[in-house]
Structures are given as C-alpha cells and as structure tokens.
Structure 1
Amino acid sequence: MRYAISYVSTAKRSLSETEIRQILDDSEINNDKQNITGLLLYSEGNFFQIIEGNQQQIIQLYETIKDDSRHYNIIKLFGKEIQKEAFDGFKSDFISADARYSSDRLQNYKRYLEVLDKPTKNAVANILKAFIV
C-alpha cells in the first residue's frame, strides 16, 4: 500500500531563484532514486508538495523536510494511505509571476489527484488553484 503526505510551506526570503530551481531539481533526482513520486510546486514564496511511496520512507522524508531551514510555516494538509499511486513520476515546477500557468495545467495536476478521497481531492484542488491560476 502506498502512503502520501501533502504540505504547504513558506520559503525563506533569502532564497534566490537559482536556489529554488536547485531545490526542485534535487528533489526530483533524489525522489526518483528512492521510488518516491509526487508533485513539488513553488510560487510566490510558497512551496506545495505531495509525496507518495512506502509509508515509512514517506514519513521519514517528511520529517527531514520539516527540519529543512530553507522554509518555515509548514502546514501538513494530509497524511494517508492511498490505493494506487497518483503520479507516474516526480513532477516539479517553478511558477513565477511572469510564467503563470493556464487552467489546462491545473487540470493536468488535478488528474493526478483522482486516487484521493473526495474531501482531500477537493482541498488539494483548491490549493492548486492558488498556485497556478
């Protein structure tokens, strides 16, 4: 059984665009190596992430994420078992003020959330709207 955790957080103001892109790239590489899938978005000073994989591994990764000094105000949205994985690989995006994504992009991300129960899916979809629209 797969396990998923989702959270939002605030990036430290001192992070540069280069550092944020490096976080996204490193996360994708490290998670791919560990068979962890999910989504990591950064927009306007905030991170949104869903990670899924082996339960023990995901909980351990989340504890590491919470200790990362590059962000704060970490709010866990959910932690739960899922029936099947929602992502076919790890996705990461940097969304800047001059590179906002369309509703088509939002629909693509929402497609990945179909394995979640309806209340969780609706909550995450609303958060995605804040990041993407």
Structure 2
Amino acid sequence: MSVLRQHLFSDRFGRVVAVARNANDERGVTGLLLYREGCFYQVLEGNEFSVKKTFSEIEQDTRHHSVRVLFKGETESREFAEWQMGFLNLDGIDMETLRGFSDFLTRDAEPQEFLENLSRGKRLALMFRTLD
C-alpha cells in the first residue's frame, strides 16, 4: 500500500501499469494493483527474490510515500496467475454494485486504519481477482 505525493491523472495510469506489466513479466511476478483516492493497494505474487526486488523498486519510487506491506506469506497457488499486473481504478465506481462489497470502502479511512485492519485489506484484494 502507498500514498501518492501528487495527483496522478487517469491517462498516466496506463503508462504505470504497462511498465509494471513488462517488469513483472520478465521476473515471473503476477498480481493486482488497485487505486482509490490517491492510494495504491497492490498484491505481488512470485518467488521470494523476484517479489522482494519488485517491492524494493516500489519503495524507491519517489512518486509515492508511506509504502507498507499489509500482509505477506506463502500460498499453494497464485490468486492472480493470469495477470502480470491487473489494474482497477476504484475512483468513480459505485462500490455497492460490486460483488463482495464491504462498507469499509465507503468510510473515510486513513491509510493507518487500513493497515490496522489486515483481514479487511486481504478481502479487498481478493474480491477483485475475478474482475477484468
């Protein structure tokens, strides 16, 4: 999870995602990137070395700050195996219409509150795994 230093216009998302997809493809990393109100929430999957290298680059990116790991661990299989980096911009979406909706997304939650609710964060990421 990270917070943008300044507003990122929607036409810039395509470039960010394209660069991430290329890098992830080369490393064998898959995942999901969600954007909402100036914050990115990201899931990275792959071997430990590749994920750590990718995360290190994210930490060093000066376009955002407050980079945090919400949860980490091993899984039997990837949740986002088909996506080098799936992306969804949640701004402007009527969240109540989405399958798996949680009212957590409608409250004015600060990033710290999000970090304190890891199980909710995990559900947030997993509910988007089937969206294209």
Q: Give your verdict on TM over 0.5.
A: yes
d(CA) in 2 for partners of 1:32, 1:121: 28
Q: Is the Cα–Cα contact under 8 Å of residues 43 and 125 in structure 2 kept in the other structure?
A: no
Q: Is the Cα–Cα contact under 8 Å of residues 2 and 68 in structure 2 kept in the other structure?
A: yes
3-state secondary structure, aligned to 1:69: coil
2:50 is the alignment partner of 1:57: yes
**Which residue number in structure 1 is paired with residue 36 of structure 2?**
43
Q: Is the Cα–Cα contact under 8 Å of residues 15 and 70 in structure 1 kept in the other structure?
A: no
d(CA) in 2 for partners of 1:19, 1:49: 17
Normalised by the length of structure 2, the TM-score is 0.68
Normalised by the length of structure 1, the TM-score is 0.68
Shift of 1:54: 1.0
Q: Tell me whether 15-24 or 41-50 shows the greater mean CA deviation.
A: 15-24
Instruction: Please report the RMSD computed on the Cα atoms of aligned residues, expressed in angstroms.
Output: 2.8
The structure where strand makes up a greater share of residues is: 1
3-state secondary structure, aligned to 1:15: coil
2:18 is the alignment partner of 1:20: no
**Which residue number in structure 2 is paired with residue 115 of structure 1?**
none
Q: Structure 1: state its 5+ residue gaps.
A: 1-7, 108-118
User: 1:100-111 to 2 correspondence within 5 Å?
Assistant: 100-101=94-95, 102-104=97-99
d(CA) in 1 for partners of 2:18, 2:24: 10
Which amino acid letter does the alignment assign opposite residue 45 of structure 1? G
Which amino acid letter does the alignment assign opposite residue 90 of structure 2? I
2:96 is the alignment partner of 1:96: no
Shift of 1:103: 2.1
**Which residue number in structure 2 is paired with residue 5 of structure 1?**
none
1:65-103 CA distance string (max 9 Å, x none): 100011111121122222221112221112222x34532
